[in-house]
Amino acid sequence: MIIKKKTLNLWMMFLLTAAFSKAQVSKNLKVWDNKPAKDWMTQAYPIGNGKLGGMVFGGIAEEHIQFNESSLWTGDEQETGAYQAFGDIFMDFKNIDESKATQYKRELNLNDALHQINYQYNNQSYNRTYFSSNPDQVLVCHYTAKATKSYSLTIRLKDAHAGKTQAGKEQLTFSGTLDNGLKYAAALTIKHDGGTLSVDKDAEGNSQIHLEGANTFTLFLSAATDYLNQSAKHWKGKNPQEIVAINLRNAVAKKYEDLKNNHVRDYQNLFNRVAIQIGDNQMNDQVPTVQQIVNYKKNTNPDLETLLFQYGRYLLISSSRKGGLPANLQGLWNNSNNPPWRSDYHSNINIQMNYWPAEPTNLAESNVPYVDYINSMREVKKKNTQKQYPGVRGWTVKTENNIFGGESFLWNTPGSAWYAQALWDHYAFNQDKIYLKTFAYPILKEISEFWDDHLKRRPDGTIVAPNGWSPEHGPTEDGVSYDQQIVYDLFTNYMEAADSLKIDADYRSHIAKLRDGLLKPKIGKWGQLQEWETDKDDPNDKHRHASHLFALHPGRQISVTKTPELARAAEVSLAARGDESTGWSMAWKMNFWARLHHGNHAYTILKNFITLVGGEGIDYNQGGGIYANLLCAHPPFQIDGNFGYTAGVAEMLLQSQEGFIDFLPAIPDQWKSSGEVKGLKVRGNVTVGFKWVHGKVISYSLTGPRASTIKIKLNGIFKTVKVKKV
């Protein structure tokens, strides 16, 4: 049969539309397994509302939910301390032989942020639904069964800091105070249909609840501290016991279905903004996610790739919401009081990478905790900076940081300038001039003032950042590329902010002269982008950090179109570093290669990232990859890789950092057949959707809050088009 080209294109568009209709409510956006989790880090599934998070094991005879609240920290304005585990819920089900359970399935559905567990026992169906609600500020566990009197169990609530659990009416509680004076409290309330409750104490003196013969029951958990993100008020807010009591009283008064619907509606308002479908491949619904990861090495699967993309968005929504703290090294989830790297806010790539996907994947609200955090740290950081750099204006940071302004390890002098990029991007993507004028601009200016005072002016007119240190290479010297490039980015952002507001013309001109005098990126003897001013880079260096490529990504000083020679030098450096690395490093390399418009190489890194770590017979300390629960292995677990991966996929599909929208700038061969994306955001507050066939965009939409025109690059051709007001 011969099909005319026009007919073929129409037919392809029909198939594409049909495929994408499934993407919007895709049944494949589920992470699932056919057995309970045995390990917190590699197998348990995370749920969270931005502040209150849990890791769910899904055991049949014993359920375990380990929970966190984002503000439970040791340390103070000087010492970093560490993010802390909060507590655990245990449910011991009576007379259950787990080996007799059948048809077991636990799944985390990214479409609605519901974690459901189903199984058969004694020919009866048992069902659980878990979620952490942002509108109601409680973690909810709902248990149902087909038969009556199906549930007899003991419920225990454990304080991770060894405080005693007390019992009230249908409630377990604990509270305490950390060594730094931070108060905390948690409470667990139970509602049940049928059955009886009784209370006693375990061998350690902790109260526990016994529920006998219930038809169904629901648990409500609330946890809080008295932390307030205001240094002027000594970081102290409301009594956590009062917060917990109010949250529980309000939640328990509502019907379960109303609580669930509130949660789903709130979550989907964010999550449903972006959908993606690549090709027509569908994951086998009968194969658990962990096996899908294993199978991926034999047959790549776009559905698994897009599932991991959306998982990053799920994790960001779940660990970073308005009014809360930003996602830390482990997002929200931590089961240790001495976690790796303190589970802190690392300022030399990690917290920044956490927020790379926020604006491009239409989650601007999740970026708010990060910019709020930057603002809340300013006054303490100014005091600490003065001790290290007497006489300067503004402020900067060390590498390790907490929620009180405390810090440790080495000074990461360009750290605050890198923070400033998030302040600018939030405006660049959303065009809120009130935010820029009253919030972001003053911070951009004072960080610029720090560098105005700190930079060294050489006799020949060259301006350099003194005593630089390239993570994690060293040495401490002038002219380190990492510092120079971040300062260039800061000054560029400050200048554009001043231009947008039409203010501070004189100081804007002063900063422009400083930027023009900065030591520029240099190309070395083996064609590489130099890491230091002196040409001494080692071509055999395979270290995970490639910080001297900041100007390529997330900066915009180097690009394929505007600085092709420097872009080629960056490519040489990147190739020398190699493709294999730890989790977050691979994610950054995806973004580097995407900015270089090398889609196939970005895809090579993407495939390396989708490697199972910590499976049966696999050492969890193996470098790079993901665990069975899709969390990123640094190793151990570090969430920035998940966020960096999501940002990398977005960069492969759409870019806007050069002043125009670039469609499919780094699409790999494996994705070219067909696909569609809706809801990605670009700078200028434009929402983009488009379809492609054979690597060519066949239709697109550009919408925004106001009608405008914008420059695009479509299938290699530049044009100016209209943005539709919605």
- CA-CA distances (angstroms) from residue 556 to 563, 596, 692? 10, 12, 27
* Boundary of a domain, candidates 269, 284, 312: 269
C-alpha 416/C-alpha 515 separation (Å) is: 17
Both 217 and 91 in one domain: the answer is: yes
Distance CA 398, CA 379 (A): 15
In a domain, 210, yes or no: yes
- Of the candidates 644, 614, 585, 443, the residue with the CA atom closest to the CA atom of residue 42: 614
CATH number for the domain harbouring residue 149? 2.70.98.50
For tokens 């599909």, name the residue: 653
**Helices and strands, number each (H, E), in the chain:** 16, 29
Residues 365 and 224 in one domain: no
Does 489 lie in the same domain as 349? Answer: yes
Residue-range definition of the domain harbouring residue 242? 36-269
- What residues contact 720, with CB distance under 8 A and at least 6 apart? 709, 710, 711, 712
Residue 253 placed within a domain: yes
Tokens representing 602 are 């970005």
222 token code pair: 């609330």
Token digits for 724?
């539709």
Please report whether residue 293 resides in a domain: no
pLDDT of residue 542: 66
**242, 269, 296: which is the final residue of a domain?**
269
pLDDT digits (tens, 9 = 90+) for 473-500: 777 788 899 999 999 999 999 999 999 9
Q: What is the pLDDT of residue 6?
A: 40
**Calpha distance 609→645 (Å, rounded):** 8
The whole-angstrom separation of Cα 223 and Cα 247 is 9
- What's the CATH code of the domain at 415? 1.50.10.10
What tokens does 374 get?
A: 């930057």
Half-sphere exposure of 362 (CA within 13 A, CB side): 22
Give the residue from 455, 488, 520 where a domain finishes. 520
The predicted structure's pLDDT at residue 605: 96
Could you give the CA distance from residue 125 to residue 216 in angstroms, rounded to a whole number? 12
Angle at 292 between CA 290 and CA 295, to 5 degrees: 115
Same domain, 51 and 188: yes
Q: Give Cα 48 distance to the centre of its chain.
A: 12
Torsion of CA 661, 666, 671, 674, to 10 degrees: 30
Q: Residue 472: is the preceding peptide bond cis (ω within 30°)?
A: yes
Is residue 220 located within the same domain as residue 80? yes
* Alpha helical stretches, state H, 203-288: 240-252, 256-271
The residue assigned the tokens 């560029």 is 492
Q: 672: Cβ–Cβ under 8 A, 6 or more apart, which residues?
A: 692, 694, 695
Residues of the chain by 3-state class (helix, strand, coil), percent to 5: 35, 30, 40
Q: Are residues 386 and 502 in the same domain?
A: yes
Our count of domains for the chain comes to 2
- How deeply is 663 buried, as exposed, middle or buried, from its count of CB atoms within 10 A (0-12, 13-18, 19+)? buried
Asked whether residue 629 is domain-assigned, the answer is no
Kindly report whether the peptide bond that precedes residue 466 is cis, defined as omega within 30 degrees of 0. Answer: no
In a domain, 435, yes or no: yes
Residues of the chain with pLDDT under 50: 1-23, 25, 617-618, 620
pTM confidence score: 0.95
Q: Label residue 598 left, alpha or beta by phi (over 0 means left) and psi (-120 to 50 means alpha).
A: beta
105 found inside a domain = yes
pLDDT at 543: 67
* Cβ–Cβ < 8 Å for 595, 571: no
Is residue 385 included in any domain, yes or no?
yes
Contact 580, 515 (CB under 8 A): no
136 and 243 fall within a common domain: yes
Q: Is residue 150 part of a domain?
A: yes
pLDDT of residue 11: 40
Q: Is 379 found in the same domain as 242?
A: no
**Same domain, residue pair 252 and 363:** no
Whether 210 and 62 map to the same domain: the answer is yes
Give the tokens for residue 475.
Answer: 């040495």
Q: Are residues 255 and 360 in the same domain?
A: no
Query: Residue 155 pairs with which residues in a beta bridge?
Result: 91, 209
Rg (CA), the chain: 26
CB atoms under 10 Å from CB of 145, counted, come to 17
